[in-house]
Chain A
């Protein structure tokens, strides 16, 4: 009963480094998304995808890149990490026929120094 799986759970990066947060779901959901959560703020949408080969920007896309080559996987790439990208990142998925119920991964804690 895996649901949404994110890796890594914790990561420390130096400014300017790049990295990829992995996300996989086994529920055959069409819709996948990445959020970041910062203290005192709600979840903010970074990028989302409504199906394989289709991605779009959310509220805070700058500095991030995504691709959706399969239904299951939706990796998030940090191109050149900055301290402002220190945050908790959540991957999520939902089936487009199941209303707006979103299923989240456990989160990835990223620190950029």
Chain B
């Protein structure tokens, strides 16, 4: 049973437009959420995070929104750039979980010129 789900395996967006990547979770104990970005043949790199006490966190072109009642978070990238083409992973952790993260399967974002 996947506790963190990224239901879109891939997403194609025009350069300059908004990219919206979605993530759903089932465990109401999760209190911290992260997005990682991964290029081919490289390890994932941290992008942005959000605590469950917030509903929005912004960092430059990247904004993460958290809807606790719907158990849903989304990553918005505005404007999308060619270098944003990558696989994006959503991950979550719960208190007293010994820092373990539960990962989604990833969404491959393709930015079209």
Contact = CB atoms under 8 A, between A and B. Distances in A.
Partners in one complex: yes
Interface of A: 4, 31, 40-45, 48, 50, 56, 58, 90, 92, 94, 96, 99-107
B43 A4 contact: yes
B100 A45 contact: yes
Contacts of B103: 42-44
B105 A42 contact: yes
Nearest to A105: B43
A101 B34 contact: yes
Contact of A40 (B44, B89, B105): B105
Contact of A106 (B6, B32, B41, B91): B41
Contacts of A92: 43
A40 B36 CA distance: 16
Contact of A31 (B45, B89, B99): B99
Contacts of B106: 42
A110 B56 CA distance: 39
B69 interface: no
5 contacts: A40-B9, A40-B105, A42-B4, A56-B98, A100-B49
Contact of B32 (A96, A99, A107): A99
3 tightest Cβ-Cβ pairs between the two chains A and B:
A42-B103, A104-B43, A43-B103
